[in-house]
Amino acid sequence: MSEIELPTLSPRRMALRRFVGHKAAVASCVVLGLLVLVVILSPLTARYGVNESVRKPPNSFLPPQKIAWFGTDDIGRDIYSRLIYGIRVSLIIGLFSAIIAVAVGCVVGAVAGFRGGFFDDVVMRVTDLFLAFPFLVALLVVRQTLGALSWLTPLVGDMSSVRFIIFLLAFFGWMTVARIVRGQVLSLKEREFIEAARAVGASRRYIILRHLVPNSIGPIMVALTFSVVGAIIGEATLAFFGYGPQAGAGTTSLGILVQAAKGAVQSGFWWMVVFPCAALVIISLCINFIGDALRDATDPRLDMGH
Amino acid sequence: MLRFIVRRIAWAFPTLLLVTFLVYVALRLGTNPVNSYLRSNPRASPEKIAEYKELNGLGSNYVFGYFNWLQNFLTFNWPRSIKGSREVFPALKDALANSLRLGVAATVVGVTIGLGIGMFAALHPGGRRDVTVNTAAFIGISIPPYISAVLLQLLFAVYWSRWFGETLFPTSGVYPAGHIGFNPVLMIKHMALPTIVVAIQIIAVYSRYMRSSLLDVLNSDYMRTARSKGISERRILIRHGVRNALIPIVTIAALDVGAIVGGLIITENVFDYPGMGVYFLKAFGDGDFPLMMPWMVLIVASILLFNLIADVTYAWLDPRIRLE
Amino acid sequence: MSDPVLLIRDLRVTFDTPLGELHAVRGVDFDVSSGELIGVVGESGSGKSVTFLAAMGLLPPRAKVTGSVILDGEELIGANPRRLRSIRGRLMSMIFQDPLSALNPVHRIGDQISEMLQSHQKISNRDAATKSVELLDLVGIPQPGDRARQYPHEFSGGMRQRVVIAMAIANNPKVLIADEPTTALDVTVQAQILEVIQRVQEKFGTAVVLITHDLGVIARVASRVNVMYAGRNVESGIVDSLFDHPSHPYTRGLLNSLPRVGSERLEPITGFPPNMLRPPIGCGFSPRCQFSQPACDAKLPELRSFGDLQTACIRAEEIVVSGAPVR
């Protein structure tokens, strides 16, 4: 017999294999993992407190040196430590707003895609319009409006709080996720296995939970990664223009750090610009790589042969 | 096809009204126009205040207020800015012109280069140049525009002059401060850096679109048929490959063009370029309702317009979806 | 029989894959003359399509092709790509299985046929358009003048396949290769398409190679037939003879597995085709053959004459004589 038994793999393992084959994505996981570790262990890994001065004056605008690895800012705080705390805040904002966005977006998108009709039309038109608006403008306007609705404040917090930013970014994030999920549901809806499920009398809820959702995990995970990176950049953008979480006592974020950099450019204090920017770019690059590899790994089209 | 266009235009008007109404509500609610006016004009007389409220439709009720505003808007009875009573229209017009110039330049440069690179990469998928292009595009997408803007500014404003003794690309404004009149060379020099920043993003995005779209097309059956006909490779690539690959891209491009004005905000801000973005940010910061509303209307109208253009272009390019 | 217009000798095709070298075609001989309609039968993976894609030069670069393909006296294997391109569509044409995806969805039908004409002849746009309409009429498209201005999605499956045929014969090629032209169509439409192919052949004297897995199609239109299995020719001959007294166990198995009126059970051929990454040394059909002997696995059997057929089974005489049931 000259037949070969090819080992069969479940779709999940095939996806995992494909993901692992993306070297850039794997490297990104490692880099991100290390970063998260450093950030979680922050009281240990940071060398100074968030608002702590490196030493007695003169201590401002010191270039990178032994007492301050990434140099100091305008009032003598260690940029390295501030970066660690700032990344922590940004990651928290990114993660939580993405989770809310995905949760809401999945529900809305699934219902819109599955039931179609008027609800679907409305959702599509509304999200279309919102997403077509210049991002920053919409962000700012919604920020003001949300802040002005006093009955919302108990839930979302004060306009300058981290909680507010999370909800604000989630408010934008869910729309993209909803569209992705809707698209996925639409394409799955016509597939034979759904028809077969209906033919044996499965209820709508059962179909959604047991068939549609598991088959959408791929796009949902991809949507999650891109929501995270979108939120992190969104926060940074807001802070850049001065509308980010206010640097209350003891908080800073990546965005605030980059905003501070804006003023430092003309004076040539490159360390204030380069390190926060590099951090932002590296984080965003890593998450993008991971998201891209996830998308390739879970793309059903790539299941056809070799 | 004509019926399609007419129907879409007909739908556009109510949509425009509805959206501007929502914007009106949002701005009135969020930016507190009356307070902002009082802040900027602390010694305004009660008559002036009333006049301000009247012209801007800030009367009691939101709905009536909106129609009030709308009436004034449509009859070109536009209220003036709360700061210094500047006329809105000239300021808006200048901002629009500046942004358009920047946007169009960046888009033309970006899309042409991007599509070219994408085609280049798709012809040898998996090869070394493909991987290089992909990675470069990826990095380009991952760098938010304001970071590249700030970095470029750092490079050119500070270091270039330090290394080379003179400024190659200025980093702010449309002209050097105080310059009067029209000077294309100076204008281009000032536009160079912002254009590069925006173009980087565009190139990154469009090269990926083109690569993926062209690859899809090159792998389809009708390409095999085309080859079996014995046509020249170049004709196959252009008339069959690129022609089909462009369809989804053009649609996206049309939408992008519509959004370009808003998308320049960050870049304009970093480079102090007086376009629509800077106009809005300043107006928003001041809570300047009379400046903001016309700006919004312009943006919404252009979004709707380009949505329509995108749909029409798609139907024109792809006969499969011309349902009439 | 006149000189063959297409002569294939010892054609071998291997593909470089991540899992190793795939031997798709392992030494195939073939010939067809003007006016003849030859059938090539085999299951998926037998190499029937790859053989002719190789002859046309349409295989991807990672395919290695050796052997000889002589079209009208000219060797195609290893020929200059420009020469090959000039031959494709002019001297030799191919049509494929799925007519919808075979046509470019954004070009009009008439334009696609004109493109075929203008790539190989010096002919003005207007003349090309006229000729396109004539060709559409020839293949039986009603109102060809109007239809030429339409797009592929406005045609039904059968109509599209007719268009594809019209396109393929536009330059009056000497050889037309039809790769499963009827597989994607309804049964009633299949008959029409076959009839179109025959009509075209009668009118132009084109040599036609009809590749299919459907024996019924062969029986209906082919004069000779080649049976392929595991990348090789296992039997060939005149259709009537082959159907009446097949000598190779695979052919016999194929005929036996056709559903018959009156019989109750279907008789498929048990087992699976061999793995072409590591093709067997001996006869490819041996693992599934009820007549298999050690000698069969020892060496790759060659085609030899057997009465009015050519067979690759070393035990052909015993099989036929033993009166093993066929039909």
Contact A93, A167 (CB under 8 A): no
Question: What mean pLDDT comes out for the span B21-26?
Answer: 87
User: At C173, is the pLDDT very low, low, confident or very high (cuts 50, 70, 90)?
Assistant: very high
Question: Could you tell me how many CB contacts below 8 A there are between chain A and chain B?
Answer: 102
Query: Rounded to an integer, what distance in angstroms lies between the CA atom of residue B121 and that of residue B84?
Result: 54
Q: Would you tell me how many other CB atoms lie within 10 Å of the CB of residue C286?
A: 22
Average pLDDT, whole number, for chain A?
Answer: 79
Report the pLDDT value the prediction gives residue B324, as an integer from 0 to 100.
42
Is C65 in the B-facing interface, judged by CB distances under 8 Å?
Answer: no
**Bridge partners, residue A153, by sequence:** none
Contact call for C106 and B247, based on CB within 8 A: yes
> What would the pLDDT profile of C93-106 be if each residue is shown by its tens digit?
999 888 878 888 88
Task: Answer whether A7 touches C (CB < 8 Å).
Answer: no
> Taking 80 as the threshold, does the pLDDT of residue A89 lie above it?
yes
What residues of C are in contact with residue A2 (Cβ under 8 Å)?
274-275, 278-280, 287
Amino acid found at C85:
R
Predicted confidence (pLDDT) at residue C175 exceeds the cutoff of 90: yes
**Where is pLDDT greater, at C146 or B128?**
C146
Say which residue, B258 or A96, is predicted with more confidence: A96
Alpha-helix residue ranges (DSSP H) falling in chain B = 2-31, 33-40, 46-55, 62-74, 88-122, 128-142, 145-153, 161-164, 184-218, 221-228, 233-235, 243-263, 265-270, 276-286, 289-317
User: Quick one: angle between helices B128-142 and B88-122, nearest 10?
Assistant: 160
Output the pLDDT for position B167: 56
**Is B165's pLDDT higher than 60?**
no
- Residues in A touching C279 (Cβ below 8 Å): 2
Q: Do B221 and C102 touch (CB under 8 A)?
A: yes
Over residues C192-201, mean pLDDT: 91
Residue bearing tokens 């200048």: B94
pLDDT of residue B163: 61
Query: Which range among A194-198, C136-140, C215-219, C319-323 shows the weakest confidence by mean pLDDT?
Result: C319-323
Of the two residues B294 and A198, the one the predictor is more confident about is B294
B154 vs chain A: nearest CA distance in angstroms? 5
Q: Residue window 271-300, chain B: list those with CB within 8 Å of chain A.
A: 277, 280-281, 284, 299
Q: Does B147 touch chain A (CB under 8 A)?
A: yes
Which has the higher per-residue pLDDT, B189 or C163?
Answer: C163
Percent of chain B with pLDDT over 70: 89
Q: Does C60 touch chain B (CB under 8 A)?
A: no
How far apart are the C-alpha atoms of A131 and A125, rounded to whole Å?
A: 10
Closest CA to C35 of C203, C170, C191: C203
- pLDDT score recorded for residue A59: 66
Residues of B in contact with A149 (CB under 8 A): 29
| Chain B interface test: which of C100, C106, C149, C175 (most B C-beta within 10 Å) | C106
Q: Pick the range with the lowest mean pLDDT from A99-113, B156-170, C119-133.
A: B156-170
DSSP A133-192: S-HHHHHHHHHHHHHH-GGGHHHH--TTSHHHHHHHHHHHHHHHHHHHHHHHHHHHHTSH
Q: Residue C27 corresponds to which amino acid? A: G
Q: Which of A24, A144, A268 sits opposite B158 (nearest CB)?
A: A268
> CA A163, CA A155: separation in Å to the nearest integer?
9
Flag whether pLDDT at A292 surpasses 90: no
Please check the confidence at residue B141 and state whether its pLDDT lies above 70.
yes
Helix axes A270-297, A11-21, angle to 10 degrees: 140
Residue B173 pLDDT level (bands cut at 50, 70, 90):
low
Q: What is the pLDDT of residue A1?
A: 37
Cα B45 to Cα B49: distance, rounded to the nearest angstrom:
6
Q: Which of A176, A167, A172 is nearest to A97 (CA)?
A: A167
Among candidates C172, C215, C175, which has minimal Cα distance to C30?
C175
What is each CA distance from A295 to A18, B73, C66, in whole angstroms? Answer: 10, 48, 40
- Residue B104's closest CA among B310, B258, B279, B209? B258
How large a percentage of chain C has pLDDT more than 70? 97
Give A201's contacts (C-beta < 8 A, 6+ positions apart). none
pLDDT in tens, A171-222: 888 988 888 888 888 877 777 777 777 777 777 777 777 777 777 787 888 8
Q: Is the pLDDT of residue B134 over 70?
A: yes
As a whole number, mean pLDDT of residues C56-73 equals 89
Whether pLDDT at A304 is above 60? no
pLDDT of residue C177: 93
pLDDT at C205 over 80: yes
Compute the nearest-CA separation of B200 from chain C (Å). Answer: 32
- pLDDT of A303: 44
Chain B within 8 Å of A143 (Cβ-Cβ)?
yes
Instruction: Please name the member of A2, A3, A306 whose beta carbon is closest to the beta carbon of C18.
Output: A306
Out of A250-259, B27-36, B208-217, give the one with best mean pLDDT: B208-217
Whether residue A305 is predicted with pLDDT greater than 50 in this model: the reply is no
User: Do residue A281 and residue B142 have CB atoms under 8 angstroms apart?
Assistant: yes
Res C2: pLDDT: 64
Closest CA to B299 of B111, B95, B118: B95
pLDDT class of B272 with cuts at 50, 70, 90: confident
Extended beta strands in chain C, E state: 4-17, 20-33, 37-41, 63-71, 74-75, 92-95, 175-179, 207-212, 224-229, 232-238, 304-306, 309-311
Residue C267 scores a pLDDT above 80: no
B223 in contact with A, Cβ within 8 Å = no
* Residue count (chain B): 324
- Structure confidence by residue, pLDDT tens digits, A32-71: 888 888 888 877 777 777 677 777 777 677 777 777 777 7
d(CA C262, CA A61): 97
Higher pLDDT, C283 or B55: C283
Nearest residue, CB atoms, A3 vs list C17, C19, C274 = C274
Contact criterion met (CB < 8 Å) for A2 and C272? no
Whether residue C287 and residue A2 make contact (CB cut-off 8 A), yes or no, is yes
Exposure of A157 by Cβ count < 10 A (0-12 exposed, 13-18 middle, 19+ buried)?
middle
Give the span between the Cα atoms of C16 and C75, in whole angstroms. Answer: 24
Give the per-residue pLDDT at C38: 93
Q: Could you tell me how many CB contacts below 8 A there are between chain B and chain C?
A: 70
pLDDT at A4 over 50: no
Number of Cβ within 10 Å of residue B172's Cβ equals: 17
Contact (CB, 8 A) for A4 and C277: yes
Does A130 touch chain B if contact means CB atoms closer than 8 Å?
no
B178-214 residue pLDDT tens: 566 667 777 777 778 788 888 888 888 888 888 888 8
Query: Are A2 and C278 in contact (CB < 8 Å)?
Result: yes
Indicate the pLDDT class of residue A306, thresholds 50, 70 and 90: very low
pLDDT of residue B136 exceeding 90, the answer is no
Element spanning C147, H or E: helix C144-147
CB hemisphere CA count around B162 (13 angstroms): 9
* pLDDT score for C40: 94
Largest CA distance in chain A: 83
pLDDT of C280 above 70 = yes
- The mean per-residue pLDDT over the stretch A239-261 comes to 75
